[in-house]
Structure 1
Amino acid sequence: MKKLFYIKLLASLCILIPFSGNSQISNDKIQQIVLSKRLIGKKIIFGKWTETRGTETHLTYLGRVKTNEGKTYKIMNSTWIWGLSRRSTNRILIFNGENQYLGNYTVGVDTDLPTKLINKILIFQNTNLHCNKNIVSKISLKNGLPKEFFKECTNGYGDIYKFN
């Protein structure tokens, strides 16, 4: 019985270990590259997704905000594309003034990511086909990071995103 268990364990490891090298590129390194470039609004792509393997990360630096209390935050959109069906994980990444990662807001789809950061306000333009294009959600960061915020899609409906 023990021998069968060890054979199955070894077989599982032989299958999984070759794929471990194809995981997402080191997030910290590529995020720091984008932060150091300070190219506001420019999407930078790392990796290459294909149907058979690989992942792809899209990072867009939106800029920095200095709150009324003097704290500095740097804001970056992140879309990680992975899996056979081209799934994505979308986040609004938050860093402090020294480029240290503080946390994120996980959003459902890339069309829910903010499009701009202007005068301490995150701007969310509805680009999703099912949302009202005339609605623009604005989240003020002048008093710091909200624990959660609401992004409207249409007729008062939308999603609440929480800071993690």
Structure 2
Amino acid sequence: MIRKPFTVLIDYAPEPASLQALYDLTDTISHERIIHVFGSAGGGRDVARRPLLGKIAGTHANIAIVTNEDPYDDDPMKIINQVAQGVVNVGRLHDQEDLFRVFDRREAIRLAISKAKADDLVLITGKACEQWIMGPLGTKQPWDDRRVARQELERLGVLST
């Protein structure tokens, strides 16, 4: 967890129960708004959880940024749209106002950090310490949410090296 003018919390929370538990934890952390970067895995993994993850974020987050996670052989934008539909169905957040669909995970993290204000809580979930984004035909893109968040905090001048 990084606490500067705002807090960045990175957690795995890939399932509805673990995501809800994380949101329950946020009740114990002082914050103004919650800005959440998240997605859901592809590769035939529990498609039904996608809108459920969106529903949980749509219920609790002030800003939801749905992004790529581990699409495997599935269409990443289809996954993003299925998750985002869960957010939309709650009726609190609206596309391009406080709900954003961002394919590139780094850009999604950058957007979250750029929108954060004093005392906000930025949640980044779904990957945490996983070291790869899994793509089509077994391709693997090196990845680390912690490293990327730190790089973006430094790039935006929020965190000094």
Q: Same fold (TM over 0.5)?
A: no
Larger of the two Rg values belongs to structure = 1
TM-score with structure 2 setting the length: 0.28
Q: Considering fraction of residues, name the structure with more helix.
A: 2
TM-score with structure 1 setting the length: 0.28
Q: Considering fraction of residues, name the structure with more strand.
A: 1
Q: Which has the higher contact order (CA 8 A, sep 6+)?
A: 2
